[in-house]
Chains A and B, each alone.
Chain A
Amino acid sequence: MSAVRCVDLCKTYRQGDQDIKALDHVNLEITSGDFVCLSAPSGGGKTTLLNAIGGLDTPDSGEVYVAGQRIDNLSKSDLADLRLRKIGFVFQAYNLIPVLTARENIEFVMQVQGVPASERREKSLAILHEVGLETLEDRRPAKMSGGQQQRVAVARAIVSRPELVLADEPTANLDSKTAGELMELFTALNERHNSTFIIATHDQHIMTYAKRLIRMLDGRIVEDIDQRAA
Chain B
Amino acid sequence: MRLFGVLFRLAWRNLWRNHRRTTIMLCAIAVGVWAMIFMTALTRGMVDQMIIEGIRTLPGHVQIHNPKFLDDPSISNPVSISAQQSFDDPEIVAWSSRVKVPAVISSERESRGITLLGIDPVAERHISFIKYDEVDGRFLVDSDDKGIVIGAKLANILETEIGKRVVIMSQDPDNDIADRGFRVVGLYTASTGAVEEAYAFVGRATVQKMLRIGNQTTEVVFVGDDYRDVEALYEVILDAVDDSVSVQRWYETNTYLGSMLNVMDGFVVVWIIVIFLALSFGLVNTLMMAVFERVREIGLMLALGMKPGSILGQILIESMLLLLIGLVAGNMLAWATVMSLQGGIDVSVVAEGLEMFGAASVLYPKLNVDDMILASKVVLVLGFLASLSPAWRASRYKPVEALAKVG
* Residues on A facing B (Cβ under 8 Å): 51, 54, 56-57, 76-77, 80-85, 89, 91, 94-95, 97-100, 104, 108-109, 111-114, 156
Pair A51/B300 contact, Cβ less than 8 Å: no
Q: Which of B142-160 contact A (CB under 8 A)?
A: none
Pair B307/A77 contact, Cβ less than 8 Å: yes
Assuming A99-B13, A99-B14, A111-B5, is B306 touching A51 (CB within 8 A)? no
Assuming A57-B400, A99-B14, is B304 touching A109 (CB within 8 A)? yes
Contact of A112 among B13, B297, B306, B400 (CB under 8 A): B306
A-B contact pairs, 21 of them (CB 8 A): A51-B400, A56-B400, A77-B307, A80-B302, A80-B307, A83-B305, A94-B296, A94-B300, A94-B407, A98-B17, A98-B297, A99-B17, A100-B9, A100-B10, A104-B9, A108-B6, A108-B304, A109-B304, A109-B305, A111-B5, A112-B305
Chain A residue with minimal CB distance to B2? A114
Contact of B303 among A83, A111, A114 (CB under 8 A): A83
From A76, A77, A84, A97, name the one whose CB has the most chain B CB atoms within 10 angstroms.
A97
Q: Roughly how many angstroms separate A189 CA and B90 CA in the complex, as a whole number?
A: 85
Q: Roughly how many angstroms separate A80 CA and B300 CA in the complex, as a whole number?
A: 12
Please, what's the 1-or-0 string for B341-361, where 1 marks a CB less than 8 Å from any CB in chain A? Answer: 000000000000000000000
Pair B10/A99 contact, Cβ less than 8 Å: yes
Contacts of A113 in B (CB 8 A): 305
Please, what's the 1-or-0 string for B371-382, where 1 marks a CB less than 8 Å from any CB in chain A? Answer: 000000000000
Q: Is the interface of B mostly helix, strand, loop or mixed?
A: helix
Contacts of B301 in A (CB 8 A): 97, 108
Interface size on B, residues (CB 8 A): 25
Q: How far is the CB of A33 from chain B (nearest CB, A)?
A: 22
Nearest 10 pairs between A and B by C-beta? A84-B305, A99-B13, A83-B305, A56-B400, A94-B296, A111-B6, A57-B400, A114-B2, A80-B307, A80-B305
Q: Roughly how many angstroms separate A84 CA and B306 CA in the complex, as a whole number?
A: 7
Contacts of B254 in A (CB 8 A): none
Contacts of A91 in B (CB 8 A): 300, 303, 403
Contacts of B9 in A (CB 8 A): 100, 104
Sample of 17 further A-B pairs with CB below 8 A, known A97-B10, A109-B305, A112-B304: A57-B400, A84-B304, A84-B305, A89-B304, A91-B403, A94-B297, A94-B300, A95-B300, A97-B297, A97-B301, A98-B297, A99-B14, A100-B9, A109-B304, A111-B6, A113-B305, A114-B2
Q: Roughly how many angstroms separate A85 CA and B9 CA in the complex, as a whole number?
A: 22
B240: interface (CB < 8 Å)? no
Q: Which of B103-143 contact A (CB under 8 A)?
A: none
Pair A112/B310 contact, Cβ less than 8 Å: yes
Q: Roughly how many angstroms separate A94 CA and B300 CA in the complex, as a whole number?
A: 8
B326: interface (CB < 8 Å)? no
B3: interface (CB < 8 Å)? yes
Contacts of A104 in B (CB 8 A): 9
Q: How far is the CB of A60 from chain B (nearest CB, A)?
A: 14
B399: interface (CB < 8 Å)? yes
Contacts of B308 in A (CB 8 A): 76, 80
Chain A residue with minimal CB distance to B407? A94
Contacts of A98 in B (CB 8 A): 17, 297
Q: How far is the CB of A61 from chain B (nearest CB, A)?
A: 18
Q: Roughly how many angstroms separate A125 CA and B2 CA in the complex, as a whole number?
A: 22
Pair B310/A56 contact, Cβ less than 8 Å: no
Q: Which of B1-37 contact A (CB under 8 A)?
A: 2-3, 5-6, 9-10, 13-14, 17
Contacts of B297 in A (CB 8 A): 94, 97-98
Q: How far is the CB of B392 from chain A (nearest CB, A)?
A: 15
Q: Roughly how many angstroms separate A81 CA and B9 CA in the complex, as a whole number?
A: 22
Contacts of A56 in B (CB 8 A): 303, 399-400, 403
Chain A residue with minimal CB distance to B17? A99
Pair A83/B2 contact, Cβ less than 8 Å: no
Q: Roughly how many angstroms separate A82 CA and B301 CA in the complex, as a whole number?
A: 14
Q: How far is the CB of A129 from chain B (nearest CB, A)?
A: 22
Chain B residue with minimal CB distance to A76? B308
Contacts of A80 in B (CB 8 A): 302, 305-308
Contacts of B10 in A (CB 8 A): 97, 99-100
Q: Roughly how many angstroms separate A112 CA and B2 CA in the complex, as a whole number?
A: 8
Q: Which of B291-325 contact A (CB under 8 A)?
A: 296-297, 300-308, 310
Q: Roughly how many angstroms separate A89 CA and B400 CA in the complex, as a whole number?
A: 12
Pair A81/B305 contact, Cβ less than 8 Å: yes
Contact of B403 among A77, A94, A108, A112 (CB under 8 A): A94
Q: How far is the CB of B175 from chain A (nearest CB, A)?
A: 87
Chain A residue with minimal CB distance to B399? A56
